[in-house]
Amino acid sequence: MNRKRALLIAGGGTLGSYATLELLKKGWAVDVILLEKRVSLSPSLRYITSRVDDGLLRKLFGENRYDTVIDFIHYPDPSAYRQRADLLLQNTDQLIFLSSYRVYANEETPVRETSPLLLDVVTDRDFLENETYAVPKTKNERYLRSTGKKNFTIVRPLISFSHYRLDLICTGAPLLLRRQAEGKPVLLPAEARYLAAGVGWAGNVGKMFAGLAGNEKALGETFTLGTDENPTWDEVAGYYREIMGIDAVWVETEAYRKTLTDRFYLTYDRLFDRRIDNSRIREVTGLAREDFTGVREGILREVTYLGEHPEELRKFDTPAAREASLFSDAYLAGKEV
C-alpha cells in the first residue's frame, strides 16, 4: 500500500518543523517548500527551496498526489487568497488552513471552537479596517466554508514557541535575548500579569497537526490547537526568570506599548484571558494530556537548543529590539520617554 504524502507550504518555521517531524514519525512522506536551503537525511523527506507561487504548486500537483496539504502562509489580502484556496482544494484530499486563536474575542472563558470571534463583536473601525492578522484570518476561514467543499480543516493554534521564536506577552526572542545578554529586566504590562497566557510549546502543536492529517473526522471542521495547561503570564515570566535569569518589571500598559510596533495585538489579544478548552482536538486525534509537554519544559528545551547553537542567535539582533531595549533603560532610569 502506498504511503500517505503531505505537502507543507512555507513549512520550514516554528510549526512546520514540528509538524514535519511528527508526520515522519507516523510514516508519511513529506515535501516541504521553504526559502532556505536544507539537507534532508531521510528518504521520506524532501525539501523544495523556492518561493511559493501557483506555477510551482501546479508543477508539484502534476507530479504528486498529496493526501494532505498544510498551508502555513499568512494571506493578509482575503481577495487574493481565494484563487490560492481554490487551487489547493482542487488538488488534495485535505487542505489544512492555518488560522489563529487570535480570531477569538474576549467574550467567553474557557475559549472553545464555538466562542465568538472578534470580527463578530468588535465595532472599532480602525481595527476592522487596518488590522492585518486576525481579521483576514477570519475572512479566509469564511471563504473556505463558503465554497461548499468539505476537504478542508481549519486550525487555530495558540502562541507556539520554539527556537525560532520565544514569547512573553508581546515581547519576543530578540528583546528577551538582548536583555538577558545585558543582564537587565524586561518591561511587561501589569494588566496582563494574571491572565491565562494562551501559550505553549510548538512540539505539541506538531503532534496535533499530525493527528489531524488524513483524519476524516477533521474534514470541514475547526480546531483550537493548544493544551489546557493554561498558565498565567506571571507564571510564564517566572519560567523565563528561572531558566534564563531574566527578571520582569510589571509596568503600566501604555509604557509597555511603547516597546511595540503593532498597535493592535496587545489590546485585541494579549490583554484577553486565553484559557482554553482543548477537549475537541483531543477527542478527534486521540491525543491525551500526558502526550503533551508543559510550558516550562518546552522553554527549557528551546533555550537549551539556542545555547548549543549560538549561530542561531544572530537572526535575533534586530533594530526594533535595540530600540525597545534603549526605551526600557530610559524608563527604568526614570527618564522622560
Percent of the chain with pLDDT over 70: 99
In the prediction, which pLDDT does 234 show? Answer: 98
In the prediction, which pLDDT does 71 show? Answer: 98
Query: Tell me, what amino acid is at 331?
Result: Y
> Mean pLDDT, to the nearest integer, of 115-138?
96
Phi/psi at 161 (5° precision)? -100, 155
Q: Does residue 52 lie within any of the structural domains?
A: yes
CA 145 to chain centre: 22
Q: Does residue 124 lie within any of the structural domains?
A: yes
Cα separation of 226 and 198, whole Å?
8
In the prediction, which pLDDT does 226 show? Answer: 96
Task: Read off the DSSP letter of residue 270.
Answer: I
In the prediction, which pLDDT does 190 show? Answer: 97
Residue 252, helix vs strand vs coil: coil
Q: Does residue 118 lie within any of the structural domains?
A: yes
> Model confidence over 49-70: pLDDT tens digits?
999 999 999 999 999 999 999 9
Pick the residue with more confidence: 175 or 1?
Answer: 175
In the prediction, which pLDDT does 263 show? Answer: 87
> Mean pLDDT, to the nearest integer, of 275-304?
97
In the prediction, which pLDDT does 335 show? Answer: 67
Residue 60 CB partners (closer than 8 Å, separation 6+): 7, 31, 48, 66
What residues make up the domain containing 119?
A: 5-332
Q: Does residue 314 lie within any of the structural domains?
A: yes
Is the bond leading into 110 cis (omega within 30 degrees of zero)?
yes
Q: Does residue 283 lie within any of the structural domains?
A: yes
Percent of the chain with pLDDT over 90: 95
| Concatenated DSSP letters of 168-185 | ETTEEHHHHHHHHHHT--
**Cα–Cα separations (whole angstroms), residue 56 to 35, 53, 85, 150:** 13, 6, 15, 25
Nearest to 116 by CA among 127, 104, 124: 104
Give 262's pLDDT tier (boundaries 50, 70, 90): confident
Above 70 in pLDDT, residue 336?
no
Please list the residues that pair with 274 across neighbouring strands.
none
Q: Does residue 241 lie within any of the structural domains?
A: yes
Above 90 in pLDDT, residue 282?
yes
* Alpha helix stretches (DSSP H) within the chain: 14-25, 54-63, 78-90, 118-121, 125-130, 134-146, 173-182, 202-212, 233-244, 253-257, 279-285, 295-308, 319-332
Q: Does residue 337 lie within any of the structural domains?
A: no
Pick the residue with more confidence: 263 or 100?
Answer: 100
Do 253 and 271 touch, CB atoms closer than 8 A? yes
Pick the residue with more confidence: 41 or 84?
Answer: 84
Above 60 in pLDDT, residue 337?
no
**12: domain CATH number?**
3.40.50.720
- pTM greater than 0.85: yes
In the prediction, which pLDDT does 144 show? Answer: 98
Structural domain tally of the chain?
1
Give 149's pLDDT tier (boundaries 50, 70, 90): very high
Q: Does residue 65 lie within any of the structural domains?
A: yes
Mean pLDDT of the chain: 96
